[in-house]
Structure 1
Amino acid sequence: MQLSSLLVAVALMIALMICGSSADASSSERVFLLKRDPVSMLSRKQSNKSTRMASALPPYKTLYFDQKLDHFDFTNDKTFKQRYLVCDSFVGKMTPSTPIFFYTGNEGDIVTFYENTGLMFDTAPQFNALIIFVEHRYYGVSNPFGPVNSFTPENIKWLSSEQALADYSYFITEMFGLDEKRTNPVIAFGGSYGGMLSSWWRMKYPHIVDGAIAASAPIFQFTGLTAPNVYNQICTEDFKKSSNLAKYHETCDAVIKNGLSILNQYYQNNNPQILQKLSSQFRICSPGIRTSADVNQLISWLTQAYNTLPMIDYPYPANFLMPLPGYPIQVICDRISTIMASEKVTTDTYLKAVLEGANVYYNYTGTSTCNNLTQPDSPSLGDDGWEYQTCNEMVMPIGNYPQTDMFIPAPWDLQAWISYCQQKWKVTPRTNWAITNYGGKRAILEATNIVFSNGDLDPWHGGGVLPGMKVNEKVKVVYIEGGAHHLDLRSSNPLDPQSVRLARALEVKEITAWLNEFSAKRGLKMKY
């Protein structure tokens, strides 16, 4: 999400994730795009003091925990300060049976996730729950070696999902007791990479976490489990479904594809006159488009908009990566069809249309006077950290394939990614480690007390746990029609579709069951 995740919030989470982009066999220098959780793309400076949110969310206290640097090296006793946020507004009086609602921080500033996980605050009053958000190591301000030195090849090696899950487990045992001494049930919440962490935490540490809400968690977005064309195919289908064929005969995705293809031809031709014209057509900030590499940057800029928008296609106006209207893809396709229907169609018409669509993403408010192709969506929040993770264990293949999507052809190239990772980070990606470590599709046959939710608009659902898959009877699978990236984790809204209201109701029902199961196993008389 721009907000971090996705959605930064997020997001990345995005969410989270890499896409090899090489336009054709002769252009191997084309850039790699880093797919992020929308929420994780937003960076904000926060006070270390108790902070009250400007929104309707309750206040939180900012605290720090002395976290072990390496949980798996018994000769290393180094620690670092890990930030966490605590909200006790719904607790009343803390008791040995007070539930702990725990957000598994993912690839971004933890404050951003606090601001975009309204489900926890909507649900906590029913259970008088204590809410805790723990920041993922190497993100936000939880950098073991400081904001700069943490991201050198020699210092970043302690960044992994395994260390993060051990962080959360050590935090719980230190704060609430080890084994039978813990009487407070723990429910994990997470979206995108955070949802992956929540589900894996329950799978790997079932004695510490008693249930998990894993929203938009692409735990199958790995080699051999999900084809690399799926993400962008879903993006393309989202635009196709929003086509206004009553106004113009060509589908929305087809117009975008044609516009990007025209630009790719210009990239290959490298005609100075055309390059100068593109600067004017796309209102590029000075110094404009001067080389074919600049055209490539323009294509990447447009692609970033069009394959991020499906993640944040929410039913109401939202202010994430950029201020957006409700259902922005529908707005874009309506604008594109209007342009295509209002004039004689030429190559310039396609370019005008593809820019108009991107303007909804980058400049919906109309305040920008020119388009800066190199400025990031937000101040760099964890980009280095997430890139490193995609270079060690989080290798999630995504590519562009002309048979199934609207983007410039760029098949997933593992060898090119390995070379990049070795050169920059001095590591070699382990493509199968996530499946080896956490399990693939067999893992969900053994897992218990997890809700996996996915929205049909979200391109990450292709790598998620979906209806029809074989799962343990104590794992619930929710598919949200009209849902974008972890929509169910967001605060309730009058414009929410009925599907997400039902999803949240099921999640609350499962949380109730998990809490009562914990109480019964512990021999407590508490009924939640």
Structure 2
Amino acid sequence: MDRFFSALLLLLLPSLSTSVPSDPFYFDNNIDHEDPTSGTYSQRFYQTIDHFKGPGNPIFLVFGGEGAVPPSTGLFYPYINEQLAANLSAAVLQPEHRFYGASQPAPKTNDNLKKLMTPQQALNDAANLVTSFRAQAGCATTPGEPGYCPVIAVGGSYPGFLSFSARLTHPNVFDASYAASAPVHFYAQQVDGGDYYELITKSAERSMAGCPESVSKALSDVQADLQDGDYCFDMSSQLPSGKSATISSGDWSGVGTGDDGEMWDWQTCSLLVERIGFDAGRSMFLQRDWTMEWMAEHCSKRFEVTPDPLKLANDWGFADIESTGLTRVLFTNGLNDGWAVGSVTTVSDIANAEERDLIVMNFDNGAHHSDLSHSEPGDDDTLDIQKGHADIQDLMNRWVKDIMLG
């Protein structure tokens, strides 16, 4: 039985990070981008300019996501920091997301979080940072002008959504987007609650035949044992911080623990609502229906906030990408990844997608943004990821040339 659980854990747990420890930098960013009188806060970020050759060369803006980024983690993705940066003579900037780690704009009161802990504020943080870097580097300000520095937004998972959104909402700052495992359809509320764990179950069966059946039986046995006894377990180490915390929280794929878990719970309780439930008829997990009623009650007790699942999609229009006029976005997906059910895996329904440079690369053997791995690209990557890295490099080179032409 142990080998079945080992296979399951490989599918469910995030990849172990072997990112590059780095010294942090700090940038004075706006506390509230909607209130110019709000003052500034010190936002932690990381950068490498080892390969940057100054004006006329690109900048990768790698979004931080739902977790602190200490110096021991530093720069996330060797594929970006080394391979693409070297190939394109590019700089890499990587801001830590506000309200995680050392990047704290204000005390974490509910009133502050409602105004300040939003994807909109995080996108403005990134736009300010890269605009400042461009100016300090002496880059020209207009595409096609000599010395212009194209900016390519990069991210995986929630940061992949931010990367996509940066191109959508700040097209005059971000010239292109590389969005890996980006849950666009989750945040447009276009995913059925049972889809996520159904795909996880299919991936488990593909990884090891019979795994889902064994997991289902094991979970049923555990449930029966717990119901037969009067047990008490200390699960506090698995809880996020804050009042009325629950292990499931707002993200039923896993919200995390401690302060990071609390902030991600806040985000998934407010604007980033994810319909992820457990359908025993479609997955190896025990039945537990996700409902908006449960979510609303949880979020009210936890943060005195009401989920607003369609606000971003309504404000930015990404429930219908074709209508947005969006251009120059690469969507990548590992098809063993549960998030693939809510990611952009096809653009066949978007008119003129090819002319708009809306491009999808799906990896049959890929997992959660495995093209943006924390490890060096190499022979350990599957063949489709290796080919993907080569194709992405070619695409980035073409995009930079196109942008430089104006």
TM class by smaller structure? 0.7 to 0.9
Distance 2:332 2:321 in 1: 17
Distance 1:385 1:423 in 2: 15
Output aligned runs, 1:476-495, within 5 Å. Answer: 476-490=359-373, 491-495=376-380
Output aligned runs, 1:33-52, within 5 Å. Answer: 38=14
Corresponding residue for residue 463 of structure 1: 342
Corresponding residue for residue 156 of structure 1: 113
1:453 aligns with 2:359: no
Distance 2:399 2:74 in 1: 23
Corresponding residue for residue 137 of structure 1: 98
Instruction: Report the CA distance shift for 1:252/1:61 in structure 2 as closer, same or farther (over 3 A).
Output: closer
Aligned amino acid, residue 285 of structure 2? F
Aligned amino acid, residue 83 of structure 1? R
Corresponding residue for residue 386 of structure 2: 501
1:175 aligns with 2:58: no
Distance 1:270 1:144 in 2: 49
Distance 1:70 1:170 in 2: 12
Distance 1:392 1:196 in 2: 16
Partner SS state of residue 111, structure 2: coil
Q: How far did 1:483 drift?
A: 0.6
1:90 aligns with 2:90: no
Partner SS state of residue 212, structure 1: strand
Q: How far did 1:477 drift?
A: 0.3
The runs of 5 or more residues in structure 1 that have no matched partner are 1-34, 43-54, 245-250, 273-288, 309-375, 522-528
Corresponding residue for residue 30 of structure 2: 68
Instruction: Report the CA distance shift for 1:386/1:301 in structure 2 as closer, same or farther (over 3 A).
Output: closer
Aligned amino acid, residue 173 of structure 1? T
Cα offsets for 1:272-291 (capped at 9, x unmatched): 4xxxxxxxxxxxxxxxx447
Corresponding residue for residue 150 of structure 2: 185
Partner SS state of residue 428, structure 1: coil
Aligned amino acid, residue 494 of structure 1? D
RMSD of Structure 2 on Structure 1 (CA): 2.9
**Contact persistence 1:211–1:511 (CA under 8 A):** no
Cα offsets for 1:131-180 (capped at 9, x unmatched): 111111111210123xxxx3331332310100000111122223324953
Distance 2:19 2:194 in 1: 40
Shifted more, 113-122 versus 200-209: the winner is 113-122
Partner SS state of residue 188, structure 1: strand
**Contact persistence 2:45–2:95 (CA under 8 A):** yes
Cα offsets for 1:196-243 (capped at 9, x unmatched): 000110111111111111111111113641111111001111112233
**Contact persistence 1:223–1:397 (CA under 8 A):** no
Distance 2:401 2:104 in 1: 37
Instruction: Report the CA distance shift for 1:101/1:468 in structure 2 as closer, same or farther (over 3 A).
Output: closer
Q: How far did 1:86 drift?
A: 1.5
Aligned amino acid, residue 398 of structure 2? A
1:105 aligns with 2:70: no
Output aligned runs, 1:256-271, within 5 Å. Answer: 256-267=215-226, 269-271=227-229
Output aligned runs, 1:105-124, within 5 Å. Answer: 105-111=64-70, 114-120=74-80, 121-124=82-85
Distance 1:455 1:464 in 2: 10
Aligned amino acid, residue 456 of structure 1? L
Partner SS state of residue 427, structure 1: coil
Partner SS state of residue 228, structure 1: coil
1:80 aligns with 2:45: no
Q: How far did 1:509 drift?
A: 1.7
Aligned amino acid, residue 492 of structure 1? P
Distance 1:407 1:201 in 2: 36
**Contact persistence 1:65–1:82 (CA under 8 A):** yes
Instruction: Report the CA distance shift for 1:496/1:444 in structure 2 as closer, same or farther (over 3 A).
Output: farther
Output aligned runs, 1:342-421, within 5 Å. Answer: 380=258, 382-421=260-299
Distance 1:142 1:84 in 2: 9
TM, length-normalised to structure 1: 0.64
**Contact persistence 1:101–1:189 (CA under 8 A):** yes
Identity %: 26
Partner SS state of residue 151, structure 1: coil
Partner SS state of residue 131, structure 2: helix
Distance 1:222 1:133 in 2: 23
How many residue pairs are counted as aligned between the two chains? 366
Q: How far did 1:484 drift?
A: 0.7
Corresponding residue for residue 171 of structure 2: 206
The runs of 5 or more residues in structure 2 that have no matched partner are 1-11, 239-245
Q: How far did 1:101 drift?
A: 1.3
Partner SS state of residue 64, structure 1: strand
**Contact persistence 2:63–2:95 (CA under 8 A):** yes
Distance 1:232 1:477 in 2: 23
Q: How far did 1:129 drift?
A: 0.9
Distance 2:232 2:69 in 1: 40
Instruction: Report the CA distance shift for 1:179/1:392 in structure 2 as closer, same or farther (over 3 A).
Output: farther
**Contact persistence 2:19–2:78 (CA under 8 A):** no
Q: How far did 1:505 drift?
A: 1.8
Corresponding residue for residue 438 of structure 1: 316
Q: How far did 1:56 drift?
A: 8.7
Distance 2:45 2:188 in 1: 33
Q: How far did 1:264 drift?
A: 2.2
Q: How far did 1:389 drift?
A: 0.5
Q: How far did 1:460 drift?
A: 0.5
1:511 aligns with 2:390: no
Aligned amino acid, residue 495 of structure 1? D
**Contact persistence 2:58–2:88 (CA under 8 A):** yes
Cα offsets for 1:361-407 (capped at 9, x unmatched): xxxxxxxxxxxxxxx98x73511111110111000110001111111
**Contact persistence 1:67–1:81 (CA under 8 A):** yes
Corresponding residue for residue 325 of structure 1: none
Q: How far did 1:61 drift?
A: 4.2
Cα offsets for 1:440-494 (capped at 9, x unmatched): 3422562211110001111100100113642322111010011111111123121
Distance 2:19 2:293 in 1: 48
